[in-house]
Amino acid sequence: MRMYDIIEKKKNKLSLTKEEIAFFVKGYVSNEIPDYQISSLLMAIVLNGMDDIEVTNLTLAMANSGDKLKLDFNAVDKHSTGGVGDKTTLIITPIVACLDCKVAKMSGKGLGYTGGTIDKLESIPNFKVQLSDEEFINQINDINVSIISQTKNIAPADKKIYALRDVTATVESIPLIASSIMSKKIASGAKNLVLDIKVGSGAFMKNINDATKLGQTMVNIGKNASINTVAILTNMNEPLGNSIGNNLEVLEAIKVLKGNGPKDITDISIELASYMVSITNKITYEEAKTKVMEVLNNGQALNRFYELIKYQGGDISKLIHNSKYEYKVYAKECGYITKMDTAKIGKISSMLGAGRIKKDDLIDYNAGIVLNKKINDYINKNDLLATLYTNKELNLSNEYLSSLEISDKPIENKLILGVIK
């Protein structure tokens, strides 16, 4: 078998066999196939696509390229395609852990303007994000939940291929995006998976059609890999919740678990948690939602979150938000906020210190933004729109103002845009 023939076959819009896909994945991981040939193949995939069988075979080949976590229990996982202010993992994992669901969660750090769950957890003093497999599994058996950083050997083919895509203009491909995400999920061992597909100005998928295609592709992969998979399409045309930035988002997650958090982050957390409980325990969505609301309202979920932090060495009593500078952003006109450039707001947060531009950049856990007004809120001149927190002498108030559009009428603004099963 020759890599040249595989490239030519895909160039001519033909389907690759399982053996051909396994050949190039294995060859690339072992450094037997050079970057330039894989780059050529990736571009052919971007231009000509892959069918469902090809995508499944690519996903499985990448999942099998390294270590696989073997779980002897029926675990559930959740994945978000990335957004601004998305702290749902911190909220939903303790909720579902109270409802006979075991959550084996491997999360990543943030890069660019999308925050990472691990960064948020590391803003909690002494919280350990790295556990041995034995510690990870023992904790799940004890309290039904653990959240750790991804191990180095999970889907190494994906790491190599993604790094190449990043520098060869081959990131924007639904087959490649879907196989990248799902290979890591399959290798992580969970048999139940809920996908949160973000749609809008702060998401990778800017429109509902592309998001639907991505969601359907990943659900199909899940089914072909014997994983119960549901995809929820959610609105990312504005930041989720009122807080952006690492310890700010942990504090907001606690507010939600106490029952007094922002409505949008509360509602989407309930939606995701209900589907996780439904597919894991094989009950209806309505039955699951009733149970979710019960543990959220009676304080069980909040206590489980504190238990999770304690098990992994964290000290929540020492989590204090404190930054040197606070910059207030005030309205300069009246009307309804009808558009937020969510990506730009996320980038502003990163510039304040809350995110990374390069993967080895240090993060300021106290940097971020608290939003006072969001889409469809009516504002008067001089109303407080947001507060920017940073340890840098850097006032980005005008940049924040330029991310908003003000109109004389509100707009339709749905939170849940679709469900794919």
Residues 129 and 146: beta-carbon distance below 8 Å: no
Alpha-carbon radius of gyration of the chain? 22
Q: Is 201 considered catalytic here?
A: no
Select from 123, 124, 130 the least CA-distant residue to 146: 130
Answer for the pair 245, 167: CB distance below 8 angstroms, yes or no.
no
| Dist CA 211 CA 201 (whole Å) | 12
Among the listed residues 78, 105, 160, 165, the single catalytic one is: 165
Which of 77, 86, 119, 158 is catalytic? The answer is: 158
Count CA atoms within 13 Å of residue 154 on its CB side: 21
Please name the residue ranges forming H helices in 315-360: 342-349
Q: Which of 10, 79, 191, 356 is catalytic?
A: 79
421 is known as an active-site residue: no
How many Å apart are CA 375 and CA 377, to the nearest integer? Answer: 6
* Given the residues 105, 160, 184, 356, the one annotated as active site: 184
Instruction: Name the active-site residue from 179, 180, 269, 323.
Output: 180
User: CA triplet 401, 405, 407: central angle to 5 degrees?
Assistant: 135
Q: How far apart are CA 115 and CA 356, in angstroms?
A: 9
Q: Is 165 a catalytic residue?
A: yes
Q: How far apart are the C-alpha atoms of 145 and 414, rounded to whole Å?
A: 31
Does 414 qualify as catalytic in the annotation? no
Is there a catalytic annotation at residue 86?
Answer: no
Question: What residues are labeled active site?
Answer: 79, 158, 165, 180, 184
